[in-house]
Amino acid sequence: MTNNQANAQNATLAERDAKHLWHPYTQHKTAALPVGIVRGEDALLWDENGKQYIDAIASWWVNPYGHSNKFIADAVYRQLTTLEHVLFGGFTHEPAVQLSEKLIEILPTNQQKLFFSDNGSTAVEVAIKVALQYYYNKGEKRTRIIAFEDAFHGDTFAAMAASGISFFTEAFKGSLIEVTRIPVPVKGKKQESLKAMQELAAAGNYAAFIFEPLVQGAAGMVMYEPEPLNELIALCRKNGIFTIADEVMTGFGKTGKNFACNYLTEQPDMMCLSKALTGGTIPMAITTFTQQLFDGFYDDDVNKALFHGHTFTANPTACAAALAGLELLQQPDMQQNLIRINENHTRFKATIEHHPRVKTVRVLGVILALELLTDSKESYYGGLRNRLYNFFIDNGIIIRPVGNIIYILPPYIISDDLLANIYEKVALAIEKIV
């Protein structure tokens, strides 16, 4: 045995991690060591010391059907041992074709073409590039994008430009495409939002409007009604501005319907899907388009094609996981889970929303967000957030508050008992942590 191997045997996962690994959204100088997780089952995870955690946020909103899901694992194993990967340039395969057929069945009826990539950010990059190149191909000068304040669309450059949470993007300000922000049409801001859009739409140089439909996840599960979004989309349509529904977070049941767009009467021109797409197992994303957008690239001139691709585009194994996930989502039991969690959330909301330390509680589908009353504006990764986060971790619950907002977005298969445990700890945190 070498010295390294001997050291590795005595050190914890967290200590070995600290030697060479760099974590997302982490200031390593001040952050605690990460928790070393060794196993997951349904809504539970276990760390290297045997401590149990309830995954109350579905591991960043990706895992609807439970950790280490056997049904998905079997489908992935069958695919890995049949055809694990093949290039998608000039080739195709059954899992990708079948997935396109199944998705088209449940997507808004105007969505006709699917483009694969690797994650939520790339799904957004593709959507923005398609909007810009559509007009480039037509010889029309539309180079700007419209997005909501406090939006989050990912961390690559175009996605970052569209994102409005400033400390995520501050260092790159000079290098981003031009994006104009409008207010989110939350209660009391609807007119302001519509008026801002009316002014921009008249300007004629915008290619697209990108939005998180009904729920802005990273902003702290900020929610708004379908009706003003219908009006914004209609305004865009009238003025040649393509609409991009970023359903990376909201897709596949989170809002109680397959997609948040199912609450709308207007349909977006493009949709971005990832996160729960593969049941939280393998990274993959899809951007979906109307026929009109596809036709804007369909030409005898090769230069009008979409020159975008990723090495692992439409990886068959990821497609097999997505197909298994879709099958699970559509089972009556799983649909019943969406209703059951929403009912639990609604009951908890009623017990807690009048608490003197609670400003407001929002519920949509399986998402519950509780905003604490604070004297000062709490920063995203500030002190209150850290005290809450540590309290929940100590109590065996994975919740990542955003500033003064505590949210729950559990795997759909979570039991009523585990949900009750989460609510109890949230109520306790409200009493104890200020």
Ligand X SMILES: *Cc1c(COP(=O)(O)O)cnc(C)c1O
Using CB under 6 A as the criterion, which residues of the chain lie in contact with ligand X when the complex forms? 119-121, 124, 152-154, 212, 217-218, 246, 248-249, 274
Per this entry, what is the length of the chain? 434
Nearest to 285 by CA among 297, 272, 294, 298: 272
CB of 151 to ligand X, least distance (A): 8
User: Which of 61/389 has CB closer to ligand X?
Assistant: 61
User: Which of 267/274 has CB closer to ligand X?
Assistant: 274
Alpha-carbon gap, residue 277 to 258, rounded angstroms: 11
Query: DSSP label at 152?
Result: -
CB of 154 to ligand X, least distance (A): 4
Q: Which residue has the tokens 């207007």?
A: 266
CB of 430 to ligand X, least distance (A): 26
- The phi and psi torsions of 363 (rounded to 5 degrees) equal -135, 130
CB of 287 to ligand X, least distance (A): 11
Alpha-carbon gap, residue 248 to 235, rounded angstroms: 24
CB 102 within 8 A of CB 326: yes
CB of 288 to ligand X, least distance (A): 14
User: Which of 268/296 has CB closer to ligand X?
Assistant: 268
CB of 244 to ligand X, least distance (A): 10
CA distances to 36, 184, 188, 275 from 191, in Å: 48, 10, 8, 32
User: Which of 137/156 has CB closer to ligand X?
Assistant: 156
Type of residue numbered 199: E
User: Which of 245/429 has CB closer to ligand X?
Assistant: 245
Dig out the tokens for 307 from the structure. 């020159």
User: Which of 207/214 has CB closer to ligand X?
Assistant: 214
Q: Which residue has the tokens 């996962």?
A: 13
Alpha-carbon gap, residue 185 to 414, rounded angstroms: 32
CB of 367 to ligand X, least distance (A): 12
CA distances to 87, 204, 215, 272, 288 from 109, in Å: 29, 27, 22, 15, 11
